[in-house]
Amino acid sequence: MATGGAAATGGGVRRAIGQHARLMRVTAIFACVPSCLPADFAHRHMSIRTAVLAALTLPAVLAAQAPPDRVEQALRADIGQRREEQIAYLERLVNIPSGTLNTAGVREVGRLIGATLDSLGFRSAWVEVPASMKRAGHLVATHAGKPGTPRVLLIGHLDTVFEGPNQRFERVDTIAKGAGSNDMKGGDVIMLYALKAMQTAGTLKDLNVTVIMTGDEEYPGDPLSDARAALIDAAKQNDIALAFEGGSRTQATIGRRSASGWVLKVTGQQGHSSGVFRSGYGAIYEAARILDEFRRELASEENLTFNPGTIAGGSTVSYDTLTQNGTTASKTNIIAPITWVQGDLRAMNPEQIVRAQTKMREIVARNLKGTSAEISFSEGYPPMAVTPGGERLLTIYSGVSETLGYGALTASDPARRGAGDLSFVAPFIDGVEGLGALGNGSHSPNESVSLPALTMQTERAALMLYRLSKLKADAVRRQPKM
């Protein structure tokens, strides 16, 4: 995950106009999320509510700032002692090129991490996806702990947006550069070294935990329902989830919007430009009307956004909705017969998605003279609503941060963070996102990770896991609606 934009790049023009099949092939490639949000998006109301709820539902020791106990001191000491080992491990991971479509590379990263988890007593397995998907598959590893304690799902990913000779690991002072150094091989080593510290301190044996690292987070396979079947399966077998995408010094994420896509195809009667207001307005005017009415009638919906990312119109248009790439040719004295527009749609809850899609369809149907239009919506990432359980987990995580002297954490604004793999488990279990690395340049060739913050995040993750392992599952599991 990382930016709010599409992860797909390049590609030539491969399809001519009028291929309806293509309309349905719009894959949700909007994976990502600003992995490192500016710290000033604190959501004050939410954090106050979080504190109140927590005080009502959690053992006092977890809600309040508590000094580290003996085990927590041991966890911290182990993480400090292994700092260089952890950075060297990150270097190894970064230097295995694993762009999403490099299936051999993604599998190799999976083998390395799987072997590490096995050495900690996990049972790891590789989950294949259908060959037609052209993705590597996923790593899943399980570890049984003390009965009755929460079953915790840890979410990472193996793939990166970029790879290549200029993307190797390079340590410069307090940062390290390289593909995936931050998003999210950095997050993966935070997870692994938190688990290693748990083992050293003798507490891993109590932890019921499943690790899943997807192989196609940055550019998910199609259809998404197959690409995320293993993740959803894992969610159903666990009580809570912790996701290791980009972290923050002051915030974590317990709510985020959906991310899906739409394609608008507009047609008009071709003719001489002099007849544009008599015989028919043409496809470009109609597309402009539709987009303008989307904005006028829907932009006021709180937290809803829909962005037309590309548009191509004219008399000869090639547009590929998969690569989001095309060409157009015409003359200024021709009324345009065809226009394609492709965009995204992000919403806070399923009801808002339905409301937006209904309105958009209505607007599309009000055609100008001599034109017609159709819109299709692709499947995407479901929204992750803020739940009492998510707030409870944030309170525990914030308490951990305070114990470590890193200060309290608040919930990031759900509207500011894009979708990620945690969104797929949100319909089943509660979770927190943002236990991962801090850095810059995710989804760019200039990605880097903060090494001091790697230690902070590993300490936070280890104490979080330790405290969860001491709770009863019922204290954190999502309660059925009354």
- Distance in Å, CB of 165 to Zn ion, minimum: 22
Provide the 10 A C-beta neighbour count for residue 40: 7
- Distance in Å, CB of 185 to Zn ion, minimum: 10
Beta bridge partners of 482: none
Select 183 or 447, whichever has its Cβ closest to Zn ion: 183
- Distance in Å, CB of 296 to Zn ion, minimum: 35
Which 3 state secondary structure label does DSSP give 293? Answer: helix
- Distance in Å, CB of 245 to Zn ion, minimum: 5
Select 184 or 207, whichever has its Cβ closest to Zn ion: 184
- Distance in Å, CB of 238 to Zn ion, minimum: 20
Q: Which residues bind Zn ion (CB under 5 A)?
A: 1, 183-184
**CA–CA separation, 304 vs 349, rounded Å?**
10
Select 1 or 224, whichever has its Cβ closest to Zn ion: 1
- Computed on alpha carbons and rounded to an integer, the radius of gyration of the chain in Å comes to 24
Which 3 state secondary structure label does DSSP give 28? Answer: coil
Residue 401 is encoded by which pair of tokens?
Answer: 């941060």
Query: Which among 450, 460, 383 has a CA at the least distance from the CA of 422?
Result: 383
Q: How many residues belong to the chain? A: 482
Select 184 or 429, whichever has its Cβ closest to Zn ion: 184
- Distance in Å, CB of 449 to Zn ion, minimum: 12
**CA–CA separation, 464 vs 59, rounded Å?**
15
**CA–CA separation, 186 vs 117, rounded Å?**
16
Select 184 or 209, whichever has its Cβ closest to Zn ion: 184
Chain centroid offset of residue 134 CA: 20
- Distance in Å, CB of 180 to Zn ion, minimum: 8
- Distance in Å, CB of 235 to Zn ion, minimum: 18
Using Cβ positions, the residue closest to Zn ion within the complex turns out to be: 1
Number of H helices, E strands in the chain: 15, 20
Residue 51 is encoded by which pair of tokens?
Answer: 């504190």
Beta strand pairing call for 175-177 and 448-450: antiparallel
CA distances (Å), 236 to each of 21, 134, 239, in order? Answer: 34, 26, 8
- Token pair 């996990």 is found at 122
**CA–CA separation, 214 vs 210, rounded Å?**
13
Select 37 or 396, whichever has its Cβ closest to Zn ion: 37
